[in-house]
Structure 1
């Protein structure tokens, strides 16, 4: 099933969606991002790879406004996210959805209400419109029969698929994926990755993904960025990065994880 994702207007389809310019982020004496410059075009699927602590998740956290850069600017869909006033940050933030390592579902709400709550309260959708959208998305992620269940009655893989549907229900222009299978039992990983592959294949949504699942990165990515010590040290197509990397650090990292 193909579910339409309202991600962009006609004149933004080939344009840059995300831009980091000279972004630096420090935690105490530790510089996590060091003058980072990179961009993501609308409709593209970009995967960030590299060792733990190289700054990948910090990028996603800043796009979610869970962390602020110490220096530099971040722009989303032509609007500045940082630095910006609180009102503008809230408006730009609506363009971004994220699926976390942990599912973060509301335990006291049904699956359906977990997905409809934010579209109703934040976007102002009617309950009927939000529920129709939620049911479409639950069908997309293979959980059409779980609308009335509570999260505690679902497996970890099912909960993560609900979290994916919840993120998509906000009609974001970009979907951020932060190691979305790392908290799952190994036998549940394939099902979640298959759902994400289907979303990548059947929608126009822009995806920015942090993962250690290299086969998944190879399958869905238009571009792969190799991070080390807060910088992009190599970027290219999946074929180039995985089959013929140029940087010694990239080769060393891939030899350890493949």
Structure 2
């Protein structure tokens, strides 16, 4: 992939659930290393986009590309056909995700949660995986919790472990799905600062769904406003939050900020 090509590209993507239109001929792209945040009301299609990138949902029509390769399809005898499970597995290895819920394995240590993926999926040597795991625990400020069980940690600490676990897989793309929604308010700032530091110090491409408007404004390179399965406005955060061009964007931002 050349640096000028998008890291993520949706082209004319449709997704319907029965008669409900979720994504409506969606077109958008994310450049390599860019931090893009998706905002918009519940049901506008934001989380479905992340689920499609994780191959948890399939497109009804259109195509998705990651790193210059088709995610939703593959080429066979010069024809574009729906992707096989083997193709999905290979493409999935480039993509990490941090969920609303931490999804840590309670019967494993913190370090074990971080090293299991690289050892099993990437074939990383056990000692190298542990060494990298400790480096990541240092990054997230939890070296003293390596032997602890997830149940012994606070919600903020568990989310930090989940972030370290995602980074251990060396993803090209990191998806963030409302990563602070399950946290107590006093823990939110620390987790968001950690993500901002990671975004600033790596070349990972981020795609983030959040209702934390201050975080979106501070960290994002670009913000996309979604409504009814389409992008209704896209722009740098300062422009979009201070002088939105679209009336729907203005209504949404005013409503969210008023609720804070």
Q: What TM-score do the two structures reach when normalised by structure 1?
A: 0.94
Offset, 1:132 = 1.0
> Residues of 2 paired with 1:251 and 1:54: CA distance?
16
1:251 match: 250
1:231 match: 230
Greater CA deviation, 54-63 or 86-95?
Answer: 86-95
> Residues of 1 paired with 2:164 and 2:19: CA distance?
38
Alignment of 1:164-203 (within 5 A): 164-203=163-202
Partner SS for 1:53: coil
Q: What TM-score do the two structures reach when normalised by structure 2?
A: 0.94
1:133 match: 132
Partner SS for 1:15: coil
Partner SS for 1:168: helix
Aligned pair count reads 248
> Residues of 2 paired with 1:108 and 1:36: CA distance?
41
Offset, 1:200 = 1.1
Offset, 1:13 = 3.9
Partner SS for 1:217: helix
* Contact 2:5/2:68 (8 A) holds in 1: no
1:114 match: 113
CA root-mean-square deviation: 0.9
> Residues of 1 paired with 2:249 and 2:186: CA distance?
28
Offset, 1:144 = 1.1
Q: Kindly indicate whether residue 11 of structure 2 is the aligned counterpart of residue 21 of structure 1.
A: yes
Partner SS for 1:172: coil
**Residue number among 25, 39, 48 corresponding to 2:29 in the alignment:** 39
1:72 match: 62
> Residues of 2 paired with 1:129 and 1:16: CA distance?
32
Offset, 1:14 = 4.3
User: Which runs of 5 or more structure 2 residues have no equivalent in the other structure?
Assistant: 74-82
> Residues of 1 paired with 2:8 and 2:123: CA distance?
26
* Contact 1:13/1:43 (8 A) holds in 2: no
> Residues of 2 paired with 1:145 and 1:176: CA distance?
27
1:8 match: none
* Contact 1:151/1:159 (8 A) holds in 2: yes
Partner SS for 1:101: coil
Offset, 1:78 = 1.2
User: Which runs of 5 or more structure 1 residues have no equivalent in the other structure?
Assistant: 1-10
